[in-house]
């Protein structure tokens, strides 16, 4: 199964998370082999955080877990599509339903076009320790 996948030179593959019922693209992240295998076995989305250089279990801090319904591989074997149920209805760290909340307007400016459902400060409660 892994042999069919074309990871890039960094050992990663882009992964698109799509709402299983609506088809809305929720977010795009990266997976390494370990993240993909854990996603397959747990049926919960696990990604590889390039900034932290470690596995990122979606929802580990926010509680906004992605339950994986289906996994697809594109024709070239270099993109994964996860069809997910987004727990809590928020996929984006900005508190929005999905990460694609900016639209290019007629003047060439990016405009926010989706509401914040929950403030990031309320999602990511930071301790004062």
The CATH code of the domain that includes 45 is 3.10.20.810
Domain count within the chain: 1
Per-residue pLDDT band for 122 (boundaries 50, 70, 90) equals: confident
Cα Rg, the chain, nearest whole Å: 16
Residue 48 structural domain: 2-92
Is pLDDT larger for residue 123 or for residue 106? 106
Q: Which residues of 44-64 are buried (b: 16+ CB within 10 A; e: fewer)?
A: bbbbbeeeeeeebbbbeebeb
Dihedral of CA 33/47/20/105: which sign? Answer: negative
In a domain, 114, yes or no: no
Residue 127 lies in a domain: no
**In this structure, is residue 40 part of a structural domain?**
yes
Residues 107-117 pLDDT 10s: 999 999 999 99
- Residue 21 domain-assigned? yes
Write down the pLDDT at residue 45.
98
Mean pLDDT of the region 1-22: 96
- Is residue 117 domain-resident? no
pLDDT band at 4 (very low <50, low <70, confident <90, very high): very high
Of 108, 98, 127, whose CA–CA distance to 117 is shortest? 98
pTM for the model stands at 0.89
Looking at per-residue pLDDT, the higher value among 30 and 126 belongs to: 30
In a domain, 73, yes or no: yes
Q: Assess if residue 109 is contained within a domain.
A: no
For 59, phi then psi, to 5°, come to 95, 0
Contact 49, 70 (CB under 8 A): no
For 36, phi then psi, to 5°, come to -65, -45
Residue 44 forms part of a structural domain: yes
């Amino acid at each position: 199964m892994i042999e069919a996948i074309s990871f890039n030179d960094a050992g990663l593959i882009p992964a698109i998370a799509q709402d299983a019922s609506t088809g809305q693209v929720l977010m795009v992240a990266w997976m390494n082999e370990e993240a993909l295998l854990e996603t397959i076995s747990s049926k919960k989305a696990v990604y590889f955080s390039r900034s932290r250089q470690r596995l990122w279990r979606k929802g580990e801090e926010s509680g906004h877990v992605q339950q994986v319904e289906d996994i697809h591989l594109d024709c070239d074997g270099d993109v994964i599509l996860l069809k997910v149920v987004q727990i809590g209805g928020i996929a984006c760290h900005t508190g929005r339903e999905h990460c694609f909340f900016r639209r290019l307007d007629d003047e060439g400016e990016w405009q926010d076009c989706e509401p914040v459902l929950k403030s990031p400060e309320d999602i990511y409660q930071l301790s004062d320790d």
